[in-house]
Chains A and B, each alone.
Chain A
Amino acid sequence: MAIYTQKKQIVTPGELLAQGEYYPELNTFKEKDKIYSMIVGLFDYRGNRLSVVPLKHCYIPYVGDLVIGKVVDSGMSGWTVDINSPYSALLPLTEAISRPHSMRKDVEGILRIGDMIKAKVIAFDRTKDPILTIRDRDLGKVTRGKVVKILPSKIPRLIGKKGSMINLLKKVSLCDLTVGQNGVILVMCKSSEAEEAVIDVIRMIEREAHTQGLTDRVSEALRRRIAGTQ
């Protein structure tokens, strides 16, 4: 029974984390009684449950996730959407409109190739591509604003504990921010200068996600940038 690394230490794939009565959780695996990391990340544990928080990973959809994607293809029964993931998503026609429709005519009128959409994942099980819906409040075509792409693994940091970081960004910049779980963020401000300022700060959070005292530095940088745009 021993843990060989400290919390928040960077570990590499194949690094021995602990030996004995521990449970391998996120990004770790067990061989006999030894637990190893399977990814580059920060080590963490709660009780005897060990995990590694990844520095980088690709987005795997989960049911209920809010994602921002781009329509890349349209067909008879719906659209194909690029959601910044190894799996391209499907938006069926029936999930885009609620009333009865005359098949082909509507498809072009609702969404076109190149449109950005806010959508929710309603089904995904790894044997089939994820299915999206835009039949909910605040979902659907994006008509204005700017889109930034960051590493999906930095999204939890951008949101912060109970949304502290994202609420700070919203409060200081007075912008409307939508964070997709797939690492795509929609920024809507009154002016495009303010949008640029918020995007720069988001990039800063992505770069310095694993450092201490980030919230204070973000708050300071954002206030300075916003004051400069007014």
Chain B
Amino acid sequence: MIKSYPERLIDENGLRLDGRRPDELRPIKLEIGVLGNADGSAYIEQGKNKILVGVYGPREIHPKHAELPNRAVLRCRYRMAPFSTEERKNPAPSRREIEISKVIREALEPAVMSEYYPRTVIDIFIEALQCDGGTRCAGIVAASLALADAGIPMRDLVSS
């Protein structure tokens, strides 16, 4: 974390404070199949961001009344670990996390061919272990990989 802000964010060589060019991405590392118990899983590191995603399903839905007769329900939970930021984050789901969960679900929904598994649910758990900006985007990338790893039919992989 930068404590005092410098006057110039791009130096005379045209590089950003961390030495990247203006159009350069942070280094990305992706891994799949990292969790044994989940049907599909993925892990992403983008710069200092570290995110773990587990996918369960398609499986039987509880509560039963939430099922849809024509397609699978997609449930998504984005969560930041209490130790993911410099200052401890309250582990209770915040307004921000609830909204990001919804946004990620809506980003993935068009890609997943949920009509192949009616009356079931696909659960996606996104756990941000270390956060440094842009965790929702990195989370979407990892979630789409975890869905592919689970063998769920998709129109395409999702990136953001």
Give chain A's interface residues, CB within 8 Å of chain B.
12-14, 27, 29, 36, 38-40, 54-58, 60, 86-88, 126-127, 153
With a cutoff of 8 Å between Cβ atoms, the chain A residues found around residue B113 in the complex are 29, 38
Task: Chain B residues near A60: list those with CB within 8 A.
Answer: 117
Interface residues of B in 89-120 (CB under 8 A from A): 111, 113, 117-120
Binding site for A on B (CB under 8 A): 39-40, 57-60, 69, 111, 113, 117-120, 148-157
B151 and A56 within 8 A (CB): yes
Q: Is the CB of A56 within 8 A of B155?
A: no
Give 22 A-B contacts (CB < 8 Å), ordered by A residue.
Answer: A12-B148, A13-B154, A13-B155, A13-B157, A27-B153, A36-B155, A38-B113, A39-B148, A40-B148, A40-B149, A55-B151, A56-B39, A56-B149, A56-B150, A58-B57, A58-B58, A60-B117, A86-B57, A86-B120, A87-B120, A88-B60, A127-B69
Q: Least Cβ distance of A85 to chain B in Å?
A: 9
Closest to B153 in A: A38
Residues in A with CB closer than 8 Å to B157 are 12-14
Q: How many angstroms between the C-alpha atoms of A158 and B154 in the bound complex?
A: 27
Q: Which of A39, A86, A87 contacts B153 (CB 8 A)?
A: A39
Given contacts A58-B117, A58-B151, 7 further A-B contacts (CB under 8 A): A13-B153, A14-B154, A38-B154, A56-B40, A56-B151, A57-B151, A58-B58
Contact of A13 among B58, B117, B148 (CB under 8 A): B148
Chain A residues positioned under 8 Å from B156 (CB to CB):
13-14, 36
Q: How far is the CB of A71 from chain B (nearest CB, A)?
A: 16
Which one of B118, B119, B151 lies within 8 Å of A39 (CB-CB)?
B151
Instruction: State the CA gap A1–B152 with chains docked (Å).
Output: 28
What residues of B have a CB within 8 angstroms of the CB of A39 in the complex? Answer: 148, 151-154
A54 and B151 form a contact (CB under 8 A): yes
Task: Give the docked Cα–Cα distance between A88 and B156 (Å).
Answer: 29
A14 touches B155 (CB 8 A): yes
Residues in B with CB closer than 8 Å to A29 are 113, 155
B151 near A38 with CB under 8 A, answer no
Task: Report how far A29 CA is from B39 CA in the complex, Å.
Answer: 23
Asked if B151 and A86 sit within 8 Å, CB to CB, the answer is no
Report Cα–Cα, A117/B119, bound state, in Å: 25
How distant is the Cα of A44 from the Cα of B39 in the complex, in angstroms?
Answer: 25
